[in-house]
Amino acid sequence: MLVLLLPMLWQDTTRLDASTALARALERAPVVAAVDARTRAADAMRRDAARLRNPQLGISAENLGMQRQVTGKDGLAGTEGQITLQTVLPLGGDLGAARRAGAAHLAVAQSDGAATLAGLSGQLLAAMAAHDVGHQLLSEATAESAALDRFATSLTARVADGRSPAGEGARVRTEAVMVASQLARRRADLAAADAQLAVALGLAPETPLRISLPASCTAPSPNGVAVDAQRAVARRTLAEALADQAAARRVPDLIPQVGFRRTAGFSGVLVGLAFDLPLFSSGSASLASARAEVDAAAAEVALATQESAAAIASARRTLQELDAAGVRYAAGWDADLSQAVTAAEARWREGQGTLAELFDARRARLAALEEHATWRGRRVAARLALARALGQPLTAALLLEDCPGAPR
């Protein structure tokens, strides 16, 4: 019956390679939609900032209902009033500064979005790496639990036949229960992580999921500028544009006015000119504030540069240490683990070893496999951190252990 169900279970499991899964998750992520919306909003602000202010049309009528008393004429002939058209003519470079600020706002939105996407991609790739390693460890733990169950059944039969002490049977059954409990906890933790990954992929949380690592890797793009440094530079550019705007506002704008005025039955052209008088505020405080923001943004650029250099050095040092440790994971190291367990079991069967030694060997094997999984996970995390610090795109190829062209 189980053999008949296996094809059904295989079909129900959603299987994706890491590259497809990453693209699918990014396509469906709400944060990506938010980034796109904010970029569109900033682009609309940029387009609006490039336009001149609309002119103002004014119409007024006087003496309505009192035409004869005021002008001695009735109706429209006795109505006085004016029609004017006025606009603002910026003199301090307001329009150019506004256009630069609009472009800088867009650059900030784009750099913020790039940083957000880089962070999300890193989280997704780390989750996929943990998913792959977690299922491998789950398979090993399941096999270990099944082996202990068989051992407990066999030893219980030996105890019943009087060939082994009853205490040994109880000890093995206790160990089997403990390992089964640990297996259940491991399976539950992995199911919870898989549920979050399935939701990120647009699947139901309970969907069985298996994500495989890429079969091959592509050469990464050349080093660029780290997204965090790009964001700091974009914010400095915005601060400089806002400082230019503050400086431009200190120059009074002209407001020319032209129109027609009718008074006492006569019409004439009206011409006027208005401008601000800086009696109460000259804009110096606003300019000082904007320039202080420029200084702060420049300091943040320097900080981002320092942090990027530190991140590169830290990631490279971490990879060097992990590579040095990885030499010990040479071909056949996993066979040595199995051989150690086999030898301990043989010693016990020959009466030269104890159950405690056998259980220690089994636990040491699982602990070594978990340590190897931790080593792999730290290598992935270091590669992701190094790629981000170098300005390289975060792709599924970074999940592979030996990918030519990987960041170093």
Mean pLDDT within 181-210: 92
Q: Is residue 307 in some structural domain?
A: yes
182-186: list long-range contacts, CB under 8 Å, 24+ apart.
182/141, 183/138, 183/141, 183/142, 183/144, 183/145, 186/137, 186/138, 186/141
For residues 398 and 221, the answer to whether their CB atoms sit within 8 Å is: no
Answer yes or no: are the C-beta atoms of 115 and 231 closer than 8 Å: yes
Q: What is the average pLDDT value for the chain, to the nearest integer?
A: 86
Work out the average pLDDT over 208-229: 80
The pair of three-digit structure tokens given for residue 112, joined into one six-digit string: 């913020």
When pLDDT is averaged across residues 103-131 and rounded to a whole number, the result is 94
H-helix segments, 266-394? 284-326, 333-349, 355-390
DSSP 205: T
Pairing state of beta strands 14-17 and 209-212?
Answer: parallel
Work out the angle at residue 386's Cα, subtended by the Cα atoms of residues 384 and 387, and round it to the nearest 5 degrees: 65
Domain count of the fold of the chain: 1
pLDDT at 7: 45
pLDDT in tens, 85-96: 988 888 878 888
Local confidence band at 1 (pLDDT 50, 70, 90 cut-offs):
very low
Mean pLDDT, rounded, for 315-323: 92
Crossing angle (nearest 10°) for helices 94-160 and 166-200: 160
Higher pLDDT, 137 or 266: 137
Query: pTM for the full model?
Result: 0.82
Q: Which of 224, 205, 188 is nearest to 389 (CA)?
A: 224
Q: Which of 142, 236, 221 is CA-nearest to residue 184?
A: 142
Q: What is the C-alpha separation between 387 and 66, in angstroms, rounded? A: 81
Q: What is the pLDDT of residue 65?
A: 66
Residue 123 has what pLDDT?
A: 94
Decide if pLDDT at 111 tops 60: yes
At 239-288, the pLDDT tens digits run 999 999 888 888 888 889 998 888 766 788 888 888 888 777 777 888 89
332-383 tens-digit pLDDT = 788 888 888 889 888 888 888 888 888 889 899 999 999 999 999 999 999 9
Confidence of residue 153 (pLDDT cuts 50, 70, 90): confident
Identify the band that residue 69 occupies on the pLDDT scale cut at 50, 70 and 90.
low
Q: Is residue 181 part of a domain?
A: yes
Q: At residue 9, does pLDDT exceed 50?
A: no
pLDDT class for 101, splitting at 50, 70, 90? very high
Helix ranges restricted to H, 161-226: 166-200
First-to-last alpha carbon distance for the chain, in angstroms, is 51
Per-residue pLDDT band for 125 (boundaries 50, 70, 90) equals: very high
Q: Look at residue 347 and tell me if it is in a domain.
A: yes
Answer yes or no: is pLDDT of 4 > 60: no
What is the CATH number for 240?
1.20.1600.10
For residue 308, the model assigns a pLDDT of: 92
Return the ∠ at Cα 191 (arms to 188 and 193), rounded to 5°. 110
Domain of residue 179 covers 21-61+78-207+224-272+283-399
Going by pLDDT thresholds of 50, 70 and 90, the confidence category of residue 215 is confident
What mean pLDDT is predicted for residues 220-236?
85
What are the angstrom distances between the C-alpha of 57 and each of 90, 259, 260?
Answer: 18, 9, 12
DSSP state of 89: B
Percentage of the chain surpassing pLDDT 70? 91
